[in-house]
Structure 1
Amino acid sequence: MASISSLGIGSGLDLNGLLDQLESAEREQLQPLKTQQASYQAKISAYGKLESALSSFQDAVVKLNDASLYQSLSTNVAGDSVTASASSEAQAGTYDVSVTKLARAQSIATEGFAERDAEQGSGSLTIEVGTGDKAQTLNLDIAQADSSLEGIRDAINAEDAGVTASIVNDGGTTPYRLVLSSEETGTEAAIQSVDFVSDAGDTALNDKLSFDIGGTGSGTMAQTVAPENAALKVNGIDITSQSNSVEGAIQGVTLELDETGDSTVAVELNNRALREAVTGFVDAYNDFKSTAGELTRFDAESGAAGELLGDSTMRSVESRLRSALSGGSASGEFGMLSDVGISLELDGSLTLDSDKLDDVITNDRQALTDFFAGTDEVDGLADTVDTTLGNLLDEGGTLEHATSGLESRIEGLDERQARMERSIARTIERYRSQFSQLDGMIANMNQTSTYLTQQFDSLNAQLGQ
């Protein structure tokens, strides 16, 4: 069989072009399927946008369904000496805090060495850090090749044993000094002793790498920064802390000491967090409504329409949410969203009266709690809306069912398209075979015509015509 590229050679006809036109005409049968596939894919994408907006709204609803939100406490600090954060165990109140001393970490240093990378000699190094529960001992065998200040520094730091090492250049004639620092502040985390025993019996090296916090022994390492505990007063009560992060001085409050001085720490109900949660609820719902409006829009002038215009799933989602919100709550003093400063508008969006909400938060906090989070006997509005959203978003829910239905239809269209592709291929192959036969037939006819013409010309020549 002749290939496509050879079609028309015998006949002189543009059979390749004709075959291409026929194939294009056959493939027009696929266009309705592709259009339908694109429509289903657009709907699946639209369901994804809808799901994202609903998930964000559900996150906002879950926050309002948490009873601890309404009892959460915040701290307000006047002064620069401390910052504070409150846990659920904190109690409301005002506390005067006076910081007289910040906690410091200890540092000790060797005498100077001429070189930082010169080998000093192998030996064993023992460092005792901390007292009581913080006590730990670091034992290191220092090889000859690792006995430079840099090698000793790296060996100490590799152990993560409550002490860090560094090298300082003091600018002197023997400038390099090994500095050891406690990783934590306070006297209980201080380095108690350093002991180096040279394998070669170098007593001078032993002394240069030895320290005792009590000042006994011949070690020449010196304390350059003394360990100190933090000292402060809370409502006149003296408090000592190993750390600048102080827990327990005020129940449920962590104080971070920043500088010496006086501050006032007020622990109070966290109105801001509650206000932000209610505002977030309104904003997230309105974002959903905006997304829904985009997906169901219709432009009369251009005829452009949203992917979910007229979609039954979209109508169901909006109807169920509108019902859940307008139904209000049967728990407590408040029954409707309008009671807490939230209005459900005719277009389905929500508007918030900030002044009314602030008044409710300040004066009717328990009623607000019961409305959204419910009581032991009755679910609140947030729980009702969360249940509705779960039915829409959870596995096997409305959106998953709608999406899986479209995916099944797309699979069916893929199968139909594959069958049609095979049918078109067979049709084009048949056309190609017929064109090849036609090409050969016309070629033979042209040869016969040429032969007969030659014969007639020869006969005329013989007859003198």
Structure 2
Amino acid sequence: MASISSLGIGSGLDLNGLLDQLRDAEREKLEPIVAQSEQQQARISALGKLQSAMTQFDDSVETLKDASLYESLSASGGGDTLSASVDAAAQPGSYSVEVSNLAKAGTLATQRVDAPDEAIVDAGGKLNLNFKGGDVPAVEVDIAADSTLEDIRDAINAKEGAGVSASIVNDGEGYRLALNSTETGVDAAIDSTNFSTLVAGNLAANPDNQITQPGEDAALKINGIDITSTTNEVTEAIQGVTLNLKETTAADSPITLKVEQDTLKVREAVSGFVKSYNALKDTMGTLTSYNSETGQAGELNGDRTVRTVESRLRSVLSGGVPGGELNTLSEVGITLQRDGTLELDEDALGEQVSGNMAALGEFFAGSEGSTGMAGRVDEALGRMLDEESGLVARSIEGAEGRLERLGERYTRMETSVERTVERYRAQFGQLDAMIANMNQTSSYLTQQFDALDAQLGRD
């Protein structure tokens, strides 16, 4: 029997080409399985998109569900002078603020030396950094023998808790070590050093004196009360409010800082709720779409999972929240449209936010013993998004199971196809050998007949 590599040589037939055609024909049996696998993979991907959109909607629901949202305060009116932030301890109020001085860090420039890279410390020692405040301890920095001004700078900057940052300046007559306090305020200001003693004998010909610029505290008035601060971040001057000072005010021209209910945050939360639901609705519409002209359908067209999600959410959103002053979404300015989307009436919401915040909070966040609209939606989403028993998770698990079974079926079918092809190959080999033998016999007989004819012709 001829080998695979010489299949067809014995017969002169294109048995390899025929074998390839038979293989292709057999492998067509795999195409339906491939198509079904791709369909399941597309369904898993589409369910993932649905899950992501539902999770994003749930995030906006969680914001509305938080009762503290409807009690939050914000500060306004600081202008260019200051910015303000509030925490839970803040109380609504109006404050007159005058800023007469900003906090500044103190600086010190040492005596001059001739060059920054020449040794100026003979035997080494300690550089003492003394600060203005009596409660601020002095700092000692170890300086090695033969250190240059650059080495001293580096040693200071490497010292943890030095209280200053060091650099080198050239004032036109020599080089000075410039020290800048890392904190603002009078007490944290660098006041003096023993630099001249440490580098004795190595100062410039005209060393001059140390130059200091004192640190300053911030000074302001709140409702006529004088307040000082070592930093421009002023805390506790107004309970629950942190002021960040940026500029001073003109004389006798205070600004008015207001701490009041943060209506903007509530508006944004409600608007975010509507937008994220509509985004979810748009995602579901895309996944279940069908184009009659092209015949193209979305990955989840006709899928029970999407219909169930949509139905359950519509049921919750169109339902009421009994017991409170506000009972339905339409009363807060949100209406369910015919296409299933939500529409927000900003003016209607504004009326509730500005004049009925407590009722709005009770409607969305609920009250003691009752669940608000946000809580009801969150519960519905939670059941459907549960990682183990949720509707979406079970749908994904089912699709993954079908995909796995299709993979096993594909493997079995592929093995069967290869066995069939190998059977064809063996049969073709036998055919090739048989035709080769027949060709040899035919050639032999032809030769014998030719020889016999030749012999008869001579006789």
Contact 2:109 2:179 in 1 (8 A): yes
Relative to the length of structure 1, the TM-score reads 0.91
Aligned to 1:83: 83
Q: Using the alignment, how far apart are the partners of 1:3 and 1:197 within structure 2? A: 99
Pick from 241, 250, 263 the counterpart of residue 238 of structure 2.
250
Write out per-residue CA displacement over residues 82-117 of structure 1, whole angstroms, 9 at most, x where no aligned residue: 121222221111111111111110111122222222
Secondary structure, in 3 states, of the residue corresponding to 2:77?
A: strand
Structure 1, residues 2-41: CA drift from partner, whole Å, max 9, x if none?
A: 5544221221111111111111111111111111111111
Residue 443 of structure 1 corresponds to 436
- Asked if the contact 1:129/1:189 (under 8 Å) is kept, the reply is no
CA gap 1:252/1:455 in 2 versus in 1, 3 angstroms: same
Instruction: Give TM-score, length-normalised by structure 2.
Output: 0.92
Distance 2:452 2:277 in 1: 99
How much does 1:349 deviate? Answer: 0.9
Q: Counterpart amino acid of 1:303?
A: G
- What secondary structure does 1:248 align onto? strand
Q: Which residue of the other structure, out of 405, 416, 438, is the alignment partner of 2:409?
A: 416
Instruction: Identify the residue that residue 142 of structure 2 maps to in structure 1.
Output: 141
How far apart are residue 118 of structure 1 and its match?
2.3
Q: Tell me, in whole angstroms, the C-alpha distance in 2 between the residues paired with 1:109 and 1:119.
A: 19
Secondary structure in structure 2 of the residue aligned to 1:187: coil
Displacement after TM superposition at 1:231 (Å)? 0.6
**In 2, Cα distance between equivalents of 1:428 and 1:120:** 92
Deviation at 1:462, TM superposition (A): 2.1
Secondary structure of the structure 2 residue equivalent to 1:105: coil
Q: Which residue of 1 aligns with 2:95?
A: 95
Distance in 2 (CA, whole Å) between partners of 1:440 and 1:221 is 112
Change (3 A) 1:452 1:2: closer
Q: Which residue of 2 aligns with 1:213?
A: none
1:140 maps to amino acid: V
Find the counterpart in structure 2 of residue 191 from structure 1. Answer: 190
Distance 1:454 1:143, change over 3 A: farther
Query: Are 2:115 and 1:115 aligned?
Result: yes
Q: Secondary structure at the match of 1:292?
A: helix
CA contact (8 A) 1:331 1:375 kept: no
Give the residue type in structure 1 aligned to 2:188: A
Letter in 1 for 2:284: A
Q: Distance in 1 between matches of 2:188 and 2:68?
A: 38
The SS at the match of 1:414 is helix
Amino acid paired to 1:178: L
| 2:38 equivalent in structure 1 | 38
Q: Could you tell me whether the CA contact under 8 Å between 1:126 and 1:137 is conserved in 2? A: no
What is the percentage of aligned positions where both structures have the same residue? 54
Provide the C-alpha distance between the structure 1 equivalents of 2:199 and 2:222, rounded to a whole number of angstroms.
53
Secondary structure of 2:295's aligned partner: coil
Q: Which residue of 1 aligns with 2:344?
A: 352
SS of the aligned residue for 1:115 comes to: coil
| Distance across 1 between alignment mates of 2:65 and 2:430 | 79
Q: 1:32 to 1:202 in 2, by over 3 A?
A: closer
SS at match of 2:226: strand
Give 1:240's aligned residue: 228
- The CA RMSD measured in Å over matched residues stands at 2.2
The alignment partner of 1:97 has SS state of strand
Aligned pair in 2 of structure 1 residues 348, 249: CA closer, same or farther (>3 Å)?
A: same
Whole-Å separation in 2 of the counterparts to 1:3 and 1:171: 96
1:318 is aligned to 2:310: yes
| Change in 2 beyond 3 A, CA 1:311/1:155 | same
1:158 and 2:147 equivalent? no
Amino acid at match of 2:218: A
Deviation by residue 1:50-75 (Cα, 9 ceiling, x = unmatched): 11111111111111111111111111
Deviation of 1:303 after TM superposition, in Å, equals 1.6
Which of 372, 379, 385 is the matching residue for 2:377? Answer: 385
Decide which moves more: 132-141 or 19-28.
132-141
Q: Give the match for residue 227 of structure 1.
A: 215
Question: What is residue 215 of structure 1 aligned with on the other side?
Answer: none
After superposition, the Cα gap between the structure-2 partners of 1:123 and 1:441, relative to the gap in structure 1 and judged at 3 Å, is same
In structure 2, runs of 5+ residues without a counterpart are none
Q: Which has the higher contact order (CA 8 A, sep 6+)?
A: 2
Partner of 1:367: 359
Structure 1 residue 221: deviation in Å?
A: 6.1
Cα shift at 1:242: 0.2
- 1:276 maps to a residue whose letter is E
Cα 1:242–1:3 change in 2 (3 A) is: farther
Moved more, 403-412 or 130-139: 130-139
Following superposition, the deviation at residue 130 of structure 1 comes to 5.1
Q: Cα offset for 1:144?
A: 3.8
What is the aligned counterpart of 1:336 among 300, 312, 328? 328
- What's the counterpart of residue 289 of structure 2? 297
Give 1:232's aligned amino acid: L
Q: Is the 8 A contact 1:91 1:252 kept in 2?
A: yes
Change (3 A) 1:377 1:202: closer
Q: 1:79 and 1:412, CA in 2 relative to 1: closer, same or farther beyond 3 A?
A: closer
Deviation at 1:138, TM superposition (A): 3.8
For 1:131 and 1:9, the matched residues in 2 are separated by 105
Tell me the equivalent position of 2:56. Answer: 56
- The answer on whether the counterparts of 2:99 and 2:221 sit within 8 Å (CA) in structure 1 is yes
- Which amino acid counterpart does residue 185 of structure 1 have in structure 2? T
CA distance in 1: counterparts of 2:418 and 2:134, whole angstroms: 82
Whole-angstrom CA distance in 1 between matches of 2:211 and 2:58: 59
